[in-house]
Amino acid sequence: MIASRECQALLRAPTGYVALVLALLGAGWLVDNQLEGARAAGLLVLDRPFQVPMFGAILITSVFLAVSAVVSVARERERGTLEVLFYGPVDEIAYVVGKLLGQMAAYVASVGVLLVAFLLLSLASGFILSATTLLGLLVSIGTAGEVVAFGLLLSVLAGRLRSAVLLFFGIATLFVSIAVAYSVALLVPVEGPTSPILPVRNALAAINALVSWISPFAYLERALSAAALGAWGGVATTLSEAMVYTLAALVAAAFILRRRGVRPREE
């Protein structure tokens, strides 16, 4: 029941289609840029021309999925829907698992649209749509679960809708800032073993490594990169880690929901 409600709500809401259109426009723009670049350079063949457009489209869709999961629980709590549901045969585990399955079903539908779109882009551009690109779309389904679970966990932690959204974008901004800072630190030349940049770089490397285990989008990036290279052992490892991440986040979300209750709290 929960999964069906969630999937239908996503398919009926216009925001999902807006996100999908943005993903398709972004992919088309990236393909066009690569086509123009190939013509300017006089190249006849490009190596994996759809890898970056595919990653961009999946990233946009995944961000929407995370925001949708963040908003979902907080909105139902504020409206009192969550309390009504728990009067019936629904407990915390059934609720978060239902939310996960509903969001996943909607994502699978969006992957089907992306697949058709990339086939059309392949015909229009003349670029070959490789098997690894197609498999990359399927691999992204395996990492979508942890994106949803991450959003659900943040939602039950924050409680209120506004707080949940601010928490998500605050954490996302922090993740991006750490990655950018680490990338910049790697570009700074080191003049010697006593250079002051070395401890800064080492600290950022440790923090960035920690973020790579916390951020669900880091798992997505690793899985897609491994799929693009045909490193299926790496894909299997990342998907296994993603499953553990999803399970842990769902259990934590259910536990926090039970402790906090289903009624909205005053901020």
- pTM, rounded to two decimals: 0.83
265 falls within a domain = no
| Residue 33 belongs to a domain | yes
CA pseudo-torsion sign 177, 178, 182, 185 = positive
d(CA 157, CA 151): 10
Structural domain boundaries, residue 223: 2-260
Residue 266 lies in a domain: no
pLDDT of residue 42: 66
pLDDT of residue 245: 92
Q: How many residues would you count in the chain? A: 267
Domain assignment present for 267: no
In a domain, 108, yes or no: yes
Does 247 reside within a domain? yes
Q: Report if residue 231 sits inside a domain.
A: yes
> Position of tokens 């924050």?
158
CA dihedral in degrees (62, 68, 74, 75; nearest 10)?
180
**Rounded mean pLDDT for each run of 10 residues along the chain, 267 residues in total:** 78 84 88 75 67 86 86 79 72 85 90 90 81 86 88 84 86 87 81 76 88 88 86 91 92 86 60
Please report where in the chains the tokens 């259109």 appear, as a residue. Answer: 21
Q: Does a structural domain hold residue 75?
A: yes
Question: What is the tally of structural domains in the chain?
Answer: 1
> Which residues have CB under 8 Å from 219's CB, separation 6+?
143, 146, 238, 241, 242, 245
What is the pLDDT at residue 43?
A: 61
The residue whose two tokens read 């908003």 is: 71
**Token pair 């289609």: residue:** 17
Six token digits for residue 50: 């759809």
Q: Fill in the DSSP letter of residue 190.
A: P
Report the pLDDT value the prediction gives residue 239, as an integer from 0 to 100. 92
Q: At what angle do helices 216-229 and 197-214 cross, to 10 degrees?
A: 90
